Amino acid sequence: MSQADRIRNFVIEAYLEPSRKRGLDQIELRAGDIHRAMELKNAMPAVCSAIGSTKFEVQAGVKTIARTGPSNGSNARFRFSIGPGLQARREPPIPSANQPTCKPDVNFTGAVVLISCVKSKLSHEAAARDLYTSPLFTGPRGLAEGNRVRWYVLSALYGLVAPQSVIAPYDFTLNTRGVSERREWTDRVFRALILAEPDLRRVIMFAGHRYREFLTLKLLERGIHVDVPMEGLRQGEQLAWLAERS
């Protein structure tokens, strides 16, 4: 899937479909908001091109009303008509061995869950399962433990961490690391995961883009199925998704 296709699908799933469910007839999108939500880097022209195209109108079932602001800047704004008279022509994605699948609800049977670390932590050493205090961590932890599946923490500092391993708090994130450093982290985590789970067949990831980008590819190349249940959801939508399943 091309970057443009990923952008168009993200906008449809994260913005258009929720707006249609609320009964809205129009929506205005800001390129910078999409760029930030997708955690893209230096891709503002790609965002503007993807959603400013005729292909997007056809795929999303929208009609462009107005386009204002700079042609390729973060403040480029797109206003669309999304009323009931318009019909999207987007085909449902077909899962393949080369792409992870994303489902609104997940079958945990036989899976190993990976949960990325978060900024909010206790101020002292603790078991990894207890160190992180954000609902974006405690929510997925509750799902993993409630479904009685094995799970691990994806720690930016420590790598792959078992839930009961005692670790100290830290201020370190992959979101500010370069590509080479993220690849090195991924290699370390992947080796540890395969060593800990030699019969691994399915992985469910509750992790940000920087934590899963290269890891997903390595897992798929090994023939391991990957689910990313909250992919494409903004932070508030992720919290709502977790709250509905708690």
User: What whole-number distance in Å separates Cα of residue 38 and Cα of residue 29?
Assistant: 14
Residue 5: its pLDDT value, please? 86
Q: How confident is the model at residue 106 (pLDDT cuts 50, 70, 90)?
A: confident
Mean pLDDT of the chain: 87
Beta-bridge mates of residue 67:
78
**Better pLDDT: 1 or 213:** 213
Q: How confident is the model at residue 84 (pLDDT cuts 50, 70, 90)?
A: low
Token output for 187 = 């290699």
Give the number of C-alpha atoms closer than 13 A to the C-alpha of residue 91, restricted to the C-beta side: 4
* Structural domains in the chain, sorted by start: 3-81 (3.30.56), 112-244 (3.40.50)
Scan for tokens 């893209």, then name that residue. 40
Residue 147: its pLDDT value, please? 92
Give the tens place of pLDDT for each residue, 109-139: 999 999 999 999 999 999 999 999 999 999 9
Residue 227's contacts (CB-CB under 8 Å, 6 or more residues apart) are 100, 101, 102, 103, 106, 111, 202, 203, 204, 205
pLDDT exceeds 80 at position 93: no
Residue 135: its pLDDT value, please? 93
Token output for 120 = 């909010």
Give the tens place of pLDDT for each residue, 152-201: 999 999 999 999 999 999 999 998 888 899 999 999 999 999 999 999 99
Residue 41: its pLDDT value, please? 86
pLDDT exceeds 50 at position 99: no
Per cent of the chain over pLDDT 70 is 91
pLDDT exceeds 80 at position 88: no
pLDDT exceeds 80 at position 87: no
Cα end-to-end span (Å), the chain? 33
Residue 111: its pLDDT value, please? 95
Burial 37-54 (b: 16+ CB within 10 A, else e): bbebeebbebbbbbbbee
pTM attached to this predicted model = 0.60
Q: How confident is the model at residue 94 (pLDDT cuts 50, 70, 90)?
A: very low
